Amino acid sequence: MIKPLLSGLALVTLCACAEQSAPSNYLCDETLSASIVEYSDDEARLTFKDAEFLLNRQVSGSGVKYSADNVLFWSKGDEAMLILKGKKYQCSLTQ
């Protein structure tokens, strides 16, 4: 009984990992690191200054845009803009 349970748990874990994309790493204002991982078509996790933010995808005329309460992350090609609590950062893809 335990073996099927462990196999099922391993399968669920693998499926959850398969949905995430590889992180996209950015350098913001030439000194600060930002990383964004897309979990699905609708959600992403942004890591910036040792903080994590769960963002929801927004409609965008071009590029990819995510936001939450005081956070907006918009990327197009190798460039991105991050607005966090009213402060704007210009970011470039580093990968």
Q: What are phi and psi for residue 22, nearest 5 degrees?
A: -65, 150
Q: Look up the CATH architecture of domain 21-93.
A: Beta Barrel (2.40)
What does the alpha-carbon distance between residue 62 and residue 48 come to, in Å, rounded to a whole number?
23
Arithmetic mean of pLDDT, 46-65: 95
- pTM score of the predicted model: 0.76
pLDDT by residue (tens digit) across 4-36? 433 443 433 434 444 568 999 999 999 999 999
Higher pLDDT, 73 or 21: 73
